[in-house]
Structure 1
Amino acid sequence: MTDQAYNPNNSCYRHPDRQSFVLCQRCGRTICPECQTPAAVGVHCPECVREQRAQFAANRRASGAPNGFTVARRRFAMLDQKATVVIVAITVAVWLLDQVSGRLFSSLLAFNSLLLPTQPWRAVTVLFVHSSFLHLLFNMWALWIFGRMLENMLGAWRFLALYFVTGIFGSMLVTFLAPGTSVVGASGAIFGLFAAFFVLQRSLGQNAVQLLVIIGLNLVIGFLPGTNISWQAHIGGLIGGFLMGFVFAQTRNIRQRPLQITLIAATAIVGLGLTAVGYASTIG
């Protein structure tokens, strides 16, 4: 077992001689008690606090008359989980449009491995379409809970990378294990969030047994007869989530940012490459 007391990543980024296991909920830097500013969720580092204040001041200066659009833009700028909010809003909007258009969006965005050569974007757009209201409700509820926590820990862009890369891994395993099957839903990415959150919690020395139980129960449900659930996408998302979580856990240090970006891109390329291999093997 690694001795965390000698891990430089567990030292305050502003005071290297002070050990701490607390991360800024926005950028992920390790911060000591002196550098912590309480936030709605967790704590923020001095740089993130200054950035928020400067952004808020800039929004106030540029806002002009407080009309409805200005107020909405100001409130959105102050959100700490913009990416999660946007994904949920787009997914709900697509579902509503799908209902009034006679499932047009499902036919355009659903994933089927046979369409990969001509419509490869379906490996990602599948995350935005759902088969029923309950399907949408469960996935968006899970995204709202775990997405906001992960976005606070990772930041918006790393969270978006996690969401879409794990979604690709879900489509990848569907290509291998259920070729020619049409699937919809964000479940692959949701399971990816579960896995990544588990890895990050364990890397911080926190108990994640309850989360492991949740993952297991939801995974078992997908194998029950008559549920019509793509368990292949769930397992693929878990694989992608564990990989991405490991990348984030091992590259926490701010100086490792170039390495982190490289590994994220490499993981995405692996997911896309395996999807192509899966397609070639099923038609060949």
Structure 2
Amino acid sequence: MSDRDPGVPPGATGGGPWSGGPAGPPVCPRHPEREAYVRCQRCGRPTCPECQREAPVGVQCVDCVAEARRQAPTVRTALGGTARGGRPVVTYALIAACVLAYALQLASGGVVTGLFSLATPLVATEPYRLLTSAFLHSTGSLLPFHLLLNMYVLFLTGPALEQLFGRGRFLALYLLSALGGSVAFTLVQGLLGSPGVAVGASGAVFGLFGALVVLRRRFPGGVRSIGVVLAINLALGFLIPGIAWEAHLGGLAVGAGVAAVLSRTARQPRAQLVALAAVVVALALLAAVAAAVAA
């Protein structure tokens, strides 16, 4: 009866083509043309320098390192997100998407803006504008103040929220907030009987503000001075002509609601999916109503 580790391949100690012996020197299983005299501390197979990975003790092969990562338990944050660490990939991707869209707006001479902006009379037949408009920004001034302001706020607030919620939940929060802002703008403009056109990520950004307010109440001291910043930005929407304050309020309400749901169901993935699906359905119904009113 053998006492060899069952996780070691049969040829790791002399029974495989990589083991050497009378047939020749040991070779790397992934690169049979290379001789390998260093063995993996986990499986015992020879491994060439390209396939070696430093381990706490000795060296492991790249296959064993990958297997260990797959078997490692998932570390969750307090709000149920996967604790990945590193760069906030989703935040940077959203910023890059907005910057790219702005460049296309300029390069197309306004064609992209006309096709994808939030024009309330067209929402009934082109509902995609409710979301695509959140990636466009005003090109009316020499400097992209509109784009820079929104991207600056996203850069400040996005990484912390992405770390807390996880990439998927944070993306859902952002997109649903953007959609909520567009629906609110369309509904109000339709009720007022004035066809409006809007662009910008302000609804999504205010959704992040709303999420921070919810988290501040849940974790006192975690996010400071957010109330002052939020009040100033809300006031500017009413004081400066041409700003879609409807989108600000709509995004703020949806963002706060989504964050409240995600924070209260942090350890219940199924409940979160059901709740997010309910939010999507509710916004879709409101969008339909808003489009009918605008039309």
- Per the alignment, residue 175 of structure 2 pairs with 164
Unaligned runs of 5+ in 2: 1-74
Task: Look up the SS of the partner of 1:102 in the other structure.
Answer: coil
Distance 1:122 1:28 in 2: 34
Residue 213 of structure 1 deviates from its aligned partner by: 1.3
Residue 109 of structure 1 deviates from its aligned partner by: 1.2
Match for residue 235 of structure 1 among 249, 259, 264: 249
Give the counterpart letter for 2:248 in structure 1: H
Distance 1:230 1:207 in 2: 30
- Per the alignment, residue 49 of structure 2 pairs with none
Give the counterpart letter for 1:105 in structure 2: V
- Deviations along 1:132-171, one digit per CA (max 9) or x if unpaired, are 4000000001111111111011111101100010111101
- Per the alignment, residue 152 of structure 1 pairs with 163
- Per the alignment, residue 105 of structure 1 pairs with 112
Distance 1:221 1:107 in 2: 26
Match for residue 135 of structure 2 among 108, 128, 141: 128
Q: Which structure has more helix as a fraction of its residues? A: 1
Match for residue 87 of structure 1 among 70, 94, 97: 94
Q: How many residues align?
A: 213
Distance 1:222 1:155 in 2: 30
Residue 105 of structure 1 deviates from its aligned partner by: 1.4
TM-score computed with the length of structure 2 as normaliser: 0.68
Give yes or no for the alignment of 1:28 onto 2:77.
yes
TM-score computed with the length of structure 1 as normaliser: 0.70
Unaligned runs of 5+ in 1: 1-25, 32-43, 53-77
Distance 1:279 1:82 in 2: 34
- Per the alignment, residue 262 of structure 1 pairs with 274
- Percent identical residues: 34
- Per the alignment, residue 118 of structure 1 pairs with 125
Instruction: Assess, with a 3 A threshold, how the Cα gap between structure 1 residues 262 and 80 changes in structure 2: closer, same or farther.
Output: farther
Residue 207 of structure 1 deviates from its aligned partner by: 6.0
Give the counterpart letter for 2:292 in structure 1: A
Task: Look up the SS of the partner of 1:178 in the other structure.
Answer: helix
Match for residue 175 of structure 1 among 186, 210, 214: 186
Give the counterpart letter for 1:193 in structure 2: L
> Does the CA contact (< 8 Å) of 2:120 and 2:294 recur in 1?
no
Residue 97 of structure 1 deviates from its aligned partner by: 1.6
Q: Stretches of 4+ moved more than 3 A in 1?
A: none
- Deviations along 1:170-207, one digit per CA (max 9) or x if unpaired, are 01111111132110000000000000111022112336
Give the counterpart letter for 2:280 in structure 1: A
> Does the CA contact (< 8 Å) of 2:138 and 2:146 recur in 1?
yes
Distance 2:223 2:86 in 1: 27
- Per the alignment, residue 189 of structure 1 pairs with 204
